[in-house]
Amino acid sequence: MISTGTTTATTATAATTTTTSYTTLDSPLGELLLVGEESPTVPGGTALASLSMPQQRGAASVQPHWHRDARPFAEALRRLRAYFAGELTRFALEFRTNGTEFQERVWQSLDSIPYGTTTTYGRLAEALGVPRSDVRALGAAIGANPLPILRPCHRVIGADGSMRGYAAGVERKTALLTHEGALQPTLI
């Protein structure tokens, strides 16, 4: 596995009261919802906890106690805009996710899949030491990734090159891989 070494992940382990902020960003994939939680280690004080797209399976939805504020997301928004403009290939942001130990390990492994490339579920399982019998669990963990695009689960494809599952829709997975140059655009 190749490591980009550009993403820091922080897992929330204690049940504490935190302020949750959110903002949105218009993108080629639709309006993105960014959700963050207080973090004393992040410049601006908010670590990304979720990024979701319209009609995404398991997507976050704005809660009444959340605060709309784009300021804590300034760097994430800048980087996402640069990514969609073709000017950024790696994200270096702090995340705060709340997965199981297995999910966190899988999500962190996604960070090592280089821009413009793909890997298969089988190769990712092998790199993580996940037995073949648990590849479905690996796929479920990938599907539960709360930070698509930032943690590039779209870069994991079927062994036959097929675009298998993507919580935000296979058409968005295809669009992201085409944007990154891993797939050739189709002519209509």
**CA 134, CA 113: separation in Å to the nearest integer?**
20
Residue 153: active-site member: yes
Q: Of residues 48, 80, 153, 176, which has the active-site annotation? A: 153
Cβ-count burial 97-106 (b if 16+ within 10 Å, e if not): bebeeebbeb
Spatial contact of 103 and 141, defined as CB atoms under 8 Å apart:
yes
Q: What are phi and psi of 30, to 5 degrees?
A: 110, -175
**CA 97, CA 101: separation in Å to the nearest integer?**
11
Active site residues: 153
